Amino acid sequence: GVMEKLGLGPEVLLQENPRLIYARLTGFGQTGKYAKSAGHDINYLALSGVLSNLGRKNENPYAPINLLADFAGGGVMCAMGIVVALYERATSGRGQIIDASMVEGVAYLSSFLWKSKNLGIWSRPRGENLLDSGAPFYEVYRTSDGKFMAVGALEPQFYDQLIKGLGLDSDELPPQMSSSDWPDMKKKFASLFAQKTQAEWCSIFDSTDACVTPVLSLDDVALHQHNKQRSSFIKNDQGEISPSPAPRLSRTPAVPSCERDPFIGEHTEEILLEYGFTKQEIAKLHSDEVIGFNKPKANL
């Protein structure tokens, strides 16, 4: 209701411009019991049903920072809604209102959980399934130097290469999908991974299809050979590392800027001048506290 209080609700603006696409991104959506309630990513994740599936056996569910509901279920799904509305407008010539709920966005994003319940993938309690740390061949293991390796050897041919790289004999091990043996196999794998450094394991697995990769920190990720070859990360003129834009378009690729991020309000006057405001009008808006400036100070 905030925009309605300002007289800028969608009904008002759509009367002015029927082609307008008006996106409303909230946690709980525009209607329902919690519509006007405060919340954060962890709350939306909880109400979606997804949080109950995240976590290890005998531990509380845990939220993966605020990536799932805020950014994936919220920002990305809202952006997709805008793109879909733009595509539809090309035919109808009419805009529409997008009610983007983070609860519904992350639930829809996680449709796989519902659709695969009867396939045996999620039939066991949390932390005992194929993809949630139950299986020894889909897990993260600590190395001797305190770093980690990620293992995702699901298919038999990949699992065979994992076993070979670990120096084990598959004939002496239980079948890969014998879930009753998974706890003991995880202990065996953990013991082996703990005997070598991350770099040593990389030298063993990098040229294989064992689906074993190093767990890279944010400080190390730009230095990895694969990421360097693809320029997957960029450095700005302040020396700060950030991901390159993705996905990559063949004809109109994004051109990332290596300049520092602007200060809030740094370009207010510049942008308003481009849109036809006079300096006097801008000064009035500033004095009325409608807009703000943030000019960086010279380092003299």
Residue 252, exposed/middle/buried by CB under 10 A (0-12, 13-18, 19+)?
Answer: exposed
3-state SS class at 100? strand
**For this structure, is 40 an active site residue?**
yes
Selected catalytic residue, list 41, 70, 286, 288: 70
Provide the residue type at 71 as one letter. Answer: F
Evaluate whether 86 touches 20 at the Cβ level (below 8 Å).
no
Q: What DSSP line would sit under 135-178, residue for residue?
A: STTEEEEE-TTS-EEEEE--SHHHHHHHHHHTT--GGGS--TT-
Spatial CA neighbour of 40 closest among 73, 66, 79: 66
Beta bridge mates, 149: 141, 214
Beta bridge mates, 213: 150
Selected catalytic residue, list 40, 145, 206, 261: 40
The span from the CA of 67 to the CA of 42, in Å, is 10
**For this structure, is 169 an active site residue?**
no
The span from the CA of 137 to the CA of 130, in Å, is 9
The span from the CA of 52 to the CA of 47, in Å, is 9
- Name the residues annotated as catalytic: 40, 70
